[in-house]
């Protein structure tokens, strides 16, 4: 016997839920792929590629933080710059 009242989500909610699931799946797959790539680079001792990747990602992070105008004190800024240069 079927229930008397079946709750169905409106089509727009189902579409939004599907899009949210697709976005989450893309993020999880990309993070997993990048992590697997970093582990492979470390495993086969491709330090030149790892250093390049770290410098590139750290530079993008600094550019992004500067674009959002995050206020930093002088000590934090010097530490971040030194870590970026040293790797």
10-residue mean pLDDT profile of the chain (87 residues): values are 52 76 88 91 91 86 72 70 63
Distance CA 10, CA 12 (A): 6
How far, rounded to the nearest angstrom, does the alpha carbon of residue 63 sit from its chain's CA centroid?
15
pLDDT of residue 18: 81
pTM: 0.53
pLDDT of residue 43: 92
Domain residue spans of the chain:
11-45, 46-87
């Amino acid at each position: 016997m079927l229930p008397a009242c079946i709750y169905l989500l409106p089509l727009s909610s189902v579409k939004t839920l599907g899009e949210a699931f697709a976005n989450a799946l893309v993020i999880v797959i990309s993070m997993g792929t990048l992590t697997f790539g970093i582990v492979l680079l470390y495993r086969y001792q491709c330090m030149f590629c790892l250093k390049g990747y770290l410098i590139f990602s750290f530079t993008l992070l600094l550019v992004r933080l500067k674009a959002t105008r995050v206020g930093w004190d002088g000590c934090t800024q010097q530490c971040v710059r030194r870590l970026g240069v040293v790797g």
